[in-house]
Structures are given as C-alpha cells and as structure tokens.
Amino acid sequence: MEFYTEFAEQIFRTKYLHPSDEGKVEKAVQRVVDKSLEYMCNPFSRDYLYQAIDRHWLVPAGGIWRAAGNPAKHVSFVNCTTGKEVEDSIESIFESLYWWAKFSAFGQGQGVDISKLRPAGTPLHNTARTSTGGVSFVPLYDAVLQVIAQHGRRGATLISIHDTYPDFELFCKVKAKPGSIESANISIQISDAFMKTVSEDGEWRLHWEGEGMSVERIVPAKQLFNILCENAHAHGDPGILYWDTSRRESNSDVLGFPIVCTNACSEVPQDAHNTCLLSSINLVKCYQDFGLSDEILAEMTRLGIRFLDSVLEAEYVEYRSPSTEQRLKLRIAPRVGLGFTGFADYLILKQIPYGSPESVEEVARICKVMAQAAYEESYDIGKERGSFDTYDATKYKTSAYVKRILDERLIDNKTLRYQRHMCKLAIAPAGTLSIIANCGGSGIEPLYSKYMVRRERTSGDWKEWFTYSPAVIRHSQLTGMPLDRKNVDALKDPWWVTAHTLDPNKKIEVVATAQKYIDQGISVTYNLPENSSLDDVKSIFYQCWRKGLKGATVYREGSREGILITEANYEKTKKTRIRKSPPRPQVLEGKVYRQNNYTMIIGLRDGVPYEIFGGKVANGFRDGQITKVASRKYLLNDDDILEHFHDKSINAITRLVSLSLRHGVPVQFVCDQLDKESDVFDIAKFFSRTLRKFIKEDEVILGSHHKCQTCGAGPDSLKYEGGCMICTVCGSSSCS
C-alpha cells in the first residue's frame, strides 16, 4: 500500500493496524480480504480483491479495518447508526444515553432526535416542578462521548430537533459558547412548509404536546430562519436536514421503516437502530491505473456492493451488533453505502474546473453508472441469497428515488424482482481514509487547500503536520515540479479549485446533480471565506432546499477553532496562533523582589519571565537558581519555595500568571490584568509593577484601550522605558 506522506502512513498504522498485523500494512489488507471472502457469495478472486484494496481502488471505511479478524467481538464493522426518537420520560432519556454510549463503545457514530422532549419551563409532576427542557440534555449526550473513546478517536454524533420544536432558538445557540459541545453536531429537520413560510414572510407555529398539556408559540418564520443562519455563520452550527425531501426519496419509508434522524455526517438518513456500512471508490486512483470508462466504473461498483454485502454478513453471523434490534435490521432492512472519493483530484487530472458545466456532466455520468450497477449487483446477490426479508417490489417502486431511476431507464422492472439491500449508495466524507488513499478531495468535496498544517492525535498526543495536498504531490510526481510552497502557490490554472475560492452555487449544482442518483445522502460542507456575509449563508440554505438536497452545513473560515491551517490563512495564522509552552528547563535563573511584607520570585528563561511565586513571607530568599525536583516542588538555593507560600488565593494568581507567561502571553497583557484587581489583592499590583521591569525598552504598547492620562494620546504614541509607560507626545510617565 502506497502512502504519499508520513502523516498518511502514521494515521493508518495508529488507527487501523491490529497487534496481530505485527506492524505490517500488508497483513492488515490481507486480514480485510480474508474476512470479506469468508462471507462473500460468488466471490471475486483473492488476488483481485487484495489488489483493489492495496492499490486504493476500493477504500473500506474505518469500522471494517477495525473489526475484520478482530478477536474482540465488541467491535463492529458498522460505521454509524441512529437511535430511537427519545420519548418524554427520564427512563427514555437515560435509555437513549445508554445506547449512545454502547454504540460508541462498539465503534459506531450515531444520530438521535430529541423533539419529543418537553420544552423548557413546561410543568413536571415531581420536585423540580418545571422542566429544564430537551436542549438542556444536549451537553449530557456530549459528555458521554467525551469519556467513551474509540481507539484514539471520539465517535462522530449528531443531535436534531424538528422545525416545530418550541425551543428552536435555544437549540440553535447551544454550541455558541466555544468548547461547550465538542463531540456532537447539531441539525434541524426543516420541512418544505417552513421554507415556504420563510420565503413568504409568514408566521410559524412552534408547538409541543404531551401528558395532556400543550405548548404553543407563533413566531415569524423569517425570525427563526435568521437565528439559525446567524449561528451557522458565527460558528458552523446548526446544519439543516431537508426532511421532507429525505422522506420523499426514502426507500425505507415506503416499506414501513420511517427515517428518524441521520448519522453524524448526514450521508445516511435512516430508521431507528439501522446501520451504515460504508466504502468508497477512489476515482482518481482508478483513472490513473486504467481509466474511468463506464465499464470500469460499473465493475468497481459491483465489486464495492459485493464487498459490503460480505461485511454485512460478517456483522450478522459474528454477532457484532451492540443491540438485538440493530442485528435484526441487518436482515429486515439492510443498508450499505458505497460512494466515491477523490472526485476533485480526478477533475484536476482531466483539467476540468470543479463547478464547471463539464464537472456537472461528469458527476452525473459517474452517479448514473454507479446507481445502475449497484441495483443490478444487489439483484444478482438477491437471486443468490434471497431478497431482504421485508422486500416488496410494489411498495419499493413508490419511492421517488426508485421511480426516477426507472423513468430514466437506469434499471427496469426485472432488476426489482430481487433486491438484497434496501439502500446501496451514500457519499461519505471519508476524511481520514481519503488521506490514506492519497486523495486531496474527500468524497465529493473540492480540494480543501493545496497545503495545510493539520493537527492530528495519532498516538495519544496532538501533533502538527505540514502536508501538501495529495493532488499537489501527484502533480509534482507527474510533471517533475519541485515541491515547495512557492511552486505550489503558482498553481493558478482554472482547474486548481479549492473550497474557499469556489462559488457555493456552483458546488450546489454539482452536489444536487449527484444526489438525484444517490439513494441515501451526501455529506458536504459549504466552506466560505472569513468575510462572507449572513446573506451568503441564507442563500446557500435556500438554494440547497430549492435544488432538492437532503442537507446542508456551512463553515465560515475562522468561525471556530479547527485542526487545519490552510494556504488561505497560513501566513496570518503563523503570526497569531497560540504557541505551545516551551519545555521547562530543570534549572531557571531566580530573581527575588520585595515590597513591604510581600516577596516575589521570578523564574527567568533566557532572561524572560517564565514563572512566578509570591506571597507574605519573612524568609530571607535571595537571587539564585530555581530547580524543579518534582511536581509542585521547586527549590531556590536549596530552600523549598512552596513551603513558605500558603495563601490559596495568592497561589491561584501566581499559577495563572505562570501559565500565561509559559504560553507566550505578552508581559504587558499579564500586567494589565493584574492591575484590574482591587485593593483586596494589593499583591497583584506589586506583581504587575515588578513584571513591568521586564518589558523591553521602546516596546510598542499593545491594546487599543491604552491612552495617555495627561493628553489623551493613543497607544501608537506610547512606549515603555524602565517599566513605565511614556507618552512621546507630552512626555508624561505612568510612574510619575
């Protein structure tokens, strides 16, 4: 297996190798191949399947790598699932949380809808008197995922509400505070009626009913839509699920399995406790190795469907499902999700700009071929193994999706005599696995960036990797272009489209065209420049609905802290990003300062304050060396410093000041904060005056709030001399 970067190989080795693989990637591939062939009917040859996976023509999803050949049975092949709608009772809430934890422990991401929970302020028949509301439980779901890890990763999750839920506005804002909800995405199930009411500037009814009571509010629909869009613009959440579209196009609803929510990345709207088994065809690798004709694409689709069917069998036969209901769904309503990745890379090789009419034609061709081949292969497997237990061809044909592919003659009635799988296709984000498979564009996405600094926790601690996009590396290999930032920045041909330079309307056209022929969903994010307006977000959400998409998420550059630094913000971020604390040497230079009854000790690293200690003490400390001998044990000239400082409030200040200094916060800012303390903390002002001695002569004044107290001159006219702020206009000093 070829990896373009050390980063890609490290991800694979950390996340997907088993101990039994003995550190050998080829053993992991063989393990997946062996398990698939064990359960595959009318199997492909071992060499062919091995080559397909080893050469990245077919990219199995993470659950398959983790479960195949794993002796631990509490590891699932399944990537994602959806919980039951949570009923309005404490028993149902905690049953839901139990499954939330258990699904995650088996390696499954998940989604859940909480619209049946009573809104905030609704009466209760217990000591609480009134409910805190359904939204108040969102942090609880998030907390579960903070402690249930999946082999070095946390499960991807999504929580949704209906557009009629009375706490609509509160739900939109639940992730507004940075760090408040870290593991879960949030989305709102939006109906056609809501979007029409918004466009007509009408009134919208929010309502909830239960236990003989009802809650109702009438609110301008546009007001609610604005709140949704404002929060999406500000921090990327919530997303939208166009629920009426998903229900109309659902193969499961017509068979009596109504969809209740989606998985975390929204590519699989599904019924409760059903599953998504995912894999992707690597378009760019197939094109490089043997072209991407209709015949080749159909062959790879057939391989992918048969491969996923074998994995589904393995999940069932080996009892790897976390619940009996989920295992049952593998027989009565089985879903697989074959998609593709590397679409953007493929377009670059063909010199087709992403979003152009040619790219729309190409994605239509690809998805039509995949739809036809997937349903024909499911027919063949169904003839061999039997259709799934609840299959009814007459009902199946009433799905809007099935009607479409029949009308366009991609399939015929004969194809529907047997079907082994209720759904076959889904375009997942395939983020990590796209990196492993050397794709710059994940799933249907354009290139995110031509190069980036990516943070990844591959072996416990976070590590930063500067990486070029695989599309750029591939171009370098094919053309001989030396790989450096100057050359990469010079790639200006129109087909070098990246996420933040692409017109969202052109991207919507690509995705909408693909969605016509994908029977489940497509995971996609509309990336916007930092200066994008609220109206840009509104336009995207409206156009996605009008074009018949099943969901939409936006991300405005800089709206939340991420793990990627791209070419678009590389120089800016290099200057402004928070720095890690440099390692503390065992020994630092120690300087001692006194004022009245107070003593302050400053540890200097290369002459710059790195840590402080202080308080009321009679000990005669003197300058010397501060040696750290253990956690919370520091010696100054063999005297244990912390044995002499016992005031907890003062110790809290010194720890926070030390933390700030270690992480490179300018001394000016530290002193400004210390100066804000009242006379309760006179020692804080002593600390500030002492630290100001270390501000460099003529250092520029930071912070727009600073001004001369004498003449009113702003910070541009102020400088430091001898720890004092001097006005260069009138000559006054802050120390006089």
Q: What token pair was written down for 552?
A: 């939409």
Residue 680 has pLDDT above 50, yes or no: no
Place 182 in a pLDDT band, splitting at 50, 70 and 90. Answer: confident
Residue 607 has pLDDT above 60, yes or no: yes
Tell me the C-alpha distance between 343 and 446, whole Å: 8
Mean pLDDT value of segment 271-282: 96
> HSE (CB half, 13 Å, CA atoms) of 723?
11
* Percent of the chain's residues with pLDDT above 70: 87
Residues 672 and 732 in one domain: no
pLDDT at 74: 92
Contact 277, 264 (CB under 8 A): no
Mean pLDDT value of segment 150-178: 84
User: Is residue 66 assigned to a domain?
Assistant: yes
Residues 148 and 294 in one domain: no
Identify the CA nearest to 14 among candidates 452, 457, 453: 457
Mean pLDDT value of segment 705-720: 57
pLDDT at 652: 86
Residue 590: exposure state from Cβ atoms within 10 A (0-12, 13-18, ≥19): buried
pLDDT at 674: 82
Helix then strand then coil, in percent of the chain rounded to 5, is 40, 20, 40
User: Is residue 529 assigned to a domain?
Assistant: no
Mean pLDDT value of segment 613-626: 86
User: Is residue 709 assigned to a domain?
Assistant: yes
Residues 227 and 361 in one domain: no
Place 647 in a pLDDT band, splitting at 50, 70 and 90. Answer: confident
Mean pLDDT value of segment 133-158: 77
Residue 79 has pLDDT above 70, yes or no: yes
Place 500 in a pLDDT band, splitting at 50, 70 and 90. Answer: confident
Q: Which of 139-148, 186-195, 566-575 has the highest mean pLDDT?
A: 186-195
Q: Of 471, 502, 535, which marks where a domain is finished?
A: 471
Q: Of 261, 290, 316, which marks where a domain is finished?
A: 261
Residue 703 has pLDDT above 50, yes or no: no
Residues 134 and 246 in one domain: yes
Residue 572 has pLDDT above 70, yes or no: no
Neighbour count for residue 140 (Cβ, 10 Å): 13
Residues 690 and 701 in one domain: no
Q: Which residues contact 700 (CB under 8 A, 6 or more apart)?
A: 715, 719
pLDDT at 443: 96
pLDDT at 567: 63
User: Is residue 523 assigned to a domain?
Assistant: no
User: Is residue 203 assigned to a domain?
Assistant: yes
Residues 297 and 163 in one domain: no
pLDDT at 727: 67
Instruction: Classify residue 284 by its DSSP letter.
Output: H
* Structural domains of the chain, count: 4
Tell me the C-alpha distance between 630 and 515, whole Å: 60
Place 570 in a pLDDT band, splitting at 50, 70 and 90. Answer: low
Mean pLDDT value of segment 544-549: 97
Residues 217 and 115 in one domain: yes
* Percent of the chain's residues with pLDDT above 90: 66
| Mean of the per-residue pLDDT values of the chain | 89
Residue 168 has pLDDT above 90, yes or no: yes
Residues 338 and 241 in one domain: no
Tell me the C-alpha distance between 433 and 361, whole Å: 26
Mean pLDDT value of segment 121-134: 80
Place 123 in a pLDDT band, splitting at 50, 70 and 90. Answer: confident
User: Is residue 13 assigned to a domain?
Assistant: yes
Domain encompassing residue 431: 6-74+277-471
Residues 240 and 342 in one domain: no
pLDDT at 705: 47
Residues 281 and 398 in one domain: yes
User: Is residue 542 assigned to a domain?
Assistant: no
Place 75 in a pLDDT band, splitting at 50, 70 and 90. Answer: very high
The residue ranking higher by pLDDT, 123 or 353, is: 353
pLDDT at 442: 94
pLDDT at 128: 64
Q: What is the CATH number of the domain that holds 307?
A: 3.20.70.20
Contact 184, 145 (CB under 8 A): yes
Residue 134: exposure state from Cβ atoms within 10 A (0-12, 13-18, ≥19): buried
Q: Of 471, 504, 537, which marks where a domain is finished?
A: 471
- pLDDT tens readout for residues 470-494: 999 999 999 999 999 999 999 999 9
3-state secondary structure 634-695: EEECCEEHHHCCCCHHHHHHHHHHHHHHHCCCCHHHHHHHHHCCCHHHHHHHHHHHHHHHHC
Residues 113 and 167 in one domain: yes
Q: Which amino acid is at 182?
A: E
Residue 91 has pLDDT above 60, yes or no: yes
Q: What token pair was written down for 77?
A: 């092949």
Mean pLDDT value of segment 559-577: 59
Mean pLDDT value of segment 624-630: 90
Place 496 in a pLDDT band, splitting at 50, 70 and 90. Answer: very high
pLDDT at 2: 92
Q: Which of 290-299, 371-380, 590-599 has the lowest mean pLDDT?
A: 590-599
**Does pTM surpass 0.85?**
no
Identify the CA nearest to 261 among candidates 189, 336, 181: 189
Residue 537 has pLDDT above 90, yes or no: yes
- pLDDT tens readout for residues 391-418: 999 999 999 999 999 999 999 999 999 9
Residues 445 and 315 in one domain: yes
User: Is residue 567 assigned to a domain?
Assistant: no
pLDDT at 466: 81
E strand or H helix that includes residue 624: strand 624-630
